[in-house]
Structure 1
Amino acid sequence: MTAPPPYPCRPPAGLTFPIYLDYGATTPVDPRVAKVMCDFLTDKFGNAASSSHSFGWEARRAVDKARAQVAGLVGAQAAEIVWTSGATESNNLALKGTAYALRAQGRGKHLITVATEHKAVLDTMDTLERAGFDVTYLTPGADGLITPEQFRAALRQDTILASVMYVNNEIGVIQPIAELGEICAERGIVFHVDAVQAAGKIAIDLKQLKVDLMSFSAHKAYGPKGIGALYVRHNPALKLEAQIDGGGHENGMRSGTLATHQIVGMGEAFALAGELLAAESQRIRTLRDRLWSGIAALPGVQLNGCAVNRVPHNLNVSFPPTRYGTLGGQLLGIAVSAGSACNSAAAAPSFVLLAIGRSPDVARNAVRFSLGRDTTEAEIDYVVATVTQVLALETVQ
């Protein structure tokens, strides 16, 4: 599709449609990443577990390099990176693997998380509750954040594991991970962080953070879908119960033949993210601020989530309803989301926005604009003009 949608505002010459502002759902694979991957789909097709010939050795070297690249972005050791099929599996392995192992040691059965976590964490916690664990779900404030004091107050003598998302996938707020990690370290509580929306957007240094487990996904950082990783801090006392049985790959934590082409793609994507992080974050912040300044004064507009402690790539805004339904449904030619990609097909309002105190109507009329590497100033200006005109023409009086 290259023709503009039928809006009164005239788009600049050369603007290509549809305009993609849903980078929080997924990102395109960077051409440099795709090029590296293609080599390992054809000529370099060896199995990294094959140790008796050069095809396997070549694949193993590529996997080791990618492991170091992922570790390099977040200040980890290469040996602390465990390959998975994506962040959902990483979260499952981290939470179930730790909870079951610690309960078997008689350490306790109390878990803590936040009501606004991704479903990959919340549904896993629900499964653990049905398996006999106690789970406390912390409710964030109106800004989407929990406080260290709130977190500390929820701890029990038998608390063994806490899981807090670094950057919320819907509203983009940054939780106080450093402070929460210090609290967990004081009490000997295993601390897991879902960092899918943080990696490549903000600086992460696991040499400094008191985090034991951290989940990553390639496709949120211009890498391929179907590959992710779990950081497992090197600690002899930290044992995870494997969730997939098989050949004992990944030091017994995750069996299965390694998808070398996807792994090298994730490694290259994370390496590029590290190189571009500072400059790209500043560029996107400028575009995000341009978008917000263009729509902030429109009648009935509300920003969702903290205005300060948030990544520049995300702007979640509630608008007044239009005569034809939500504003998001009227933005023809502009790809945006009403929430997370996992729940965008649901008719119910965002559970994240409800959890921070938004009314069902306000939550139902939210739009998540998520900006990325290919977002341009011309696109932002067109979106501002379009939103302004749609609200002027179609807002219910």
Structure 2
Amino acid sequence: MQRAYLDNAATTPVRNEVIKVMVNALKYSFGNPSSTQHSYGRAARAIIEESRIRIAKNIKSSPYEIIFTSGGTEANNIILRSAVIDLKVQYILTSPLEHHSVLKTVLDLCCKYKVFVDFVKVKDRGVIDLNHLEILLKKNHSKKILVSLMYANNEIGNLLEIDKVGTLCKENNAYFHSDTIQIIGNFPINMNQLPFDFATASAHKFYGPKGIGFIFIREKLIKKIKSLITGGNQEYGIRSGTENVYGIIGLSEALHLSYCNFMNHIEKIKNLKFYCISELKKIIPNIIFNGLSDSFDKSIPTILNFFYPKKDHLLYFHLDLMGIAISKGSSCSSITLKKVSHVIQSISNKYLLKNMTPIRISFGIFNEKKDIDLLIEAFNKIKNIEKKNFIKKR
């Protein structure tokens, strides 16, 4: 049976080149990078620091601004918790569309540290209301503020008006954290020109290994952040614990390869998305796209989210049996099949939620036109089965 993997926003397959450098590190660079008194440790340390430099070059930052973590969730946690504990942030502004690693963390901080949390309003199609953000910032300008808004939404693909948010943060002396996990490794990013104080990345979103990611922390803030985990003084004292050497070199290689052929890859993905939209419109009249995912200038080309015009909790399984791997949204919320994600709930009306099924398709560099054809063929089969069942019931 032919299969099509269309869930690249959840995770991506690891490149062969990445596997090769990781296996080589596992075999020959097994020294503890903190044991610099001998050559084995120094070799491992060299891999980490060379990888840090390589990553910094790719995202246009200083190597000292890169802190390795176990992935995106830990990275977001470190930033949010450190902002409260070390930077003495009293007020956090975020949105109801953020990843659970942000939403659950800010609510936890609210309970434990009596930090006040506000949610910026969301306009039609999941657009962040910047007027409301400005009102909240000005209203609380006397407090130490952290704004946490993701650059690209992981479910509907919406792009944040990043420069406008950055300007508002600067005018109101607020720290700015952005979950950039769907951006870094998939789209060029220049940290020297972007207004973030903090950003996060995860290797498995750009054809690297799971269990490794990094935080970007603006250099002026590095010395103010302390480790949440007591132990050694690794990662400039921000993240204790022996570093994941083979994961780090895998991340570095994956990021480098992603940016080497970026223009060719992104053009291919845009064409796939355009073709998919065109074909879906043929089989689903008046199709409803979620967020701005059908836009090519206000969303990332890797994500397309829409409503299938029937409520069917088993739709994802039916598609899987036909060889199609897709999801209803964030992998962190897809464990509960019957529950619609918080993002879709925030931007949809009750009728849609009650009568339709949300679907997220996410494209990657290994997808081809034939994958879209398989998807459309599978939808047609499901529609025919539904039609026959409807006739039988009558």
The separation in 2 between residues aligned to 1:44 and 1:249, in whole angstroms, is 18
Aligned position for 2:259: 274
The residue that corresponds to 1:153 in the other structure is 135
Report the Cα offset of residue 75 of structure 1: 1.5
In the alignment, structure 1 residue 226 sits paired with structure 2 residue 214: no
Question: How far apart are 1:325 and its partner, in Å?
Answer: 4.7
In terms of fraction of residues, the more helix-rich structure is: 2
Query: Structure 2 counterpart of 1:359, which letter?
Result: K
CA deviations on 1:77-103 (whole Å, 9 max, x unpaired) are 111000111111100100000112222
CA distance in 2, matches of 1:26, 1:325: 22
Instruction: Give the C-alpha shift of residue 150 in structure 1.
Output: 2.5
- Length-normalised TM-score, structure 1: 0.90
Match of 2:316 in 1: 328
Are the structure 2 counterparts of residues 232 and 325 from structure 1 closer, same or farther at C-alpha, using a change threshold of 3 Å? closer
- How far is 1:327 from its partner? 3.6
- SS for the counterpart of 1:94 is helix
164-173 or 327-336, which deviates more: 327-336
Which whole-Å CA distance do the structure 1 matches of 2:85 and 2:383 have between them?
52
Query: 2: CA distance between counterparts of 1:360 and 1:63?
Result: 52
Supply the distance in 2 between the matched residues of 1:159 and 1:236 (Cα, whole angstroms).
15
CA deviations over 1:8-46 (Å, ceiling 9, x no partner): xxxxxxxx32x1111111111110001000111112211
| Conserved 8 A contact 2:268-2:365 | no
Q: RMSD in angstroms over aligned alpha carbons? A: 1.8
TM-aligned CA distance change 1:379 to 1:236, over 3 Å: closer
Spell out, residue by residue over 1:342-371, the C-alpha distance to the aligned partner (whole angstroms, 9 max, x if none).
Answer: 111212111101111343743860111111
1:74 aligns with 2:59: yes
Secondary structure of residue in 1 paired with 2:205:
coil
Deviation at 1:124, TM superposition (A): 0.4
Match of 1:168 in 2: 153
1:317-349: CA deviation from partner (whole Å, max 9, x where unpaired):
101116x65543421310000111011121211
Secondary structure in 2 matching 1:372: coil
Cα drift, residue 170 of structure 1: 0.8
Query: What is the number of equivalent residue pairs in this alignment?
Result: 377
Give the C-alpha shift of residue 392 in structure 1.
4.2
Range moving further from structure 2, 335-344 or 385-394: 385-394
Give the TM-score, by structure 2 length.
Answer: 0.91
Distance 1:201 1:391 in 2: 34
- Match for residue 183 of structure 2? 198
Query: Which of 145-154 and 200-209 deviates more?
Result: 145-154
- What is the correspondence of 1:250-265 to structure 2 with a 5 Å cutoff? 250-265=235-250
Comparing 298-307 with 49-58, which one deviates more in the overlay? 298-307
Could you tell me how far apart the structure 2 residues matched to 1:189 and 1:356 are? Answer: 27
SS in 1 for 2:8: coil
For the Cα contact (< 8 Å) 1:142–1:357, is it kept in 2?
no
Shift of 1:271: 0.6
Mark the CA change 1:358 to 1:70 in structure 2 (over 3 Å): closer, same or farther. Answer: farther
Amino acid at match of 2:358: A
Specify the alignment match of 2:382 in structure 1. Answer: 390
Secondary structure at the aligned position of 1:79 is classed as helix
Tell whether 2:350 aligns with 1:359.
yes
Alignment pair present for 1:312 and 2:293: no
Aligned to 1:303: 289
Q: How far did 1:299 drift?
A: 3.0
Q: Which residue identity does 2:346 align to in structure 1?
A: A
C-alpha contact (below 8 Å) 1:48/1:60 kept by paired residues = yes
Give the counterpart of 1:53 among 20, 38, 63.
Answer: 38
Deviations 1:215-242 (A, max 9, x none): 1101111111111100010115872242
- Paired residue type of 2:169: C
Tell me if the contact between 1:115 and 1:355 (Cα under 8 Å) persists in the aligned partners: yes
Letter paired with 2:102: V
Q: Deviations over 1:61-84 (max 9, x none)?
A: 111121122222321111100011
Assess if the C-alpha contact under 8 Å between 1:172 and 1:311 holds in 2: yes
Aligned residue for 1:50, secondary structure, equals: coil
Q: Which runs of 5+ in 2 are unaligned?
A: none
Written as runs of structure 1 = structure 2, the 5 A alignment for 1:20-169 is 20-103=5-88, 109-131=90-112, 132-155=114-137, 156-157=140-141, 158-169=143-154
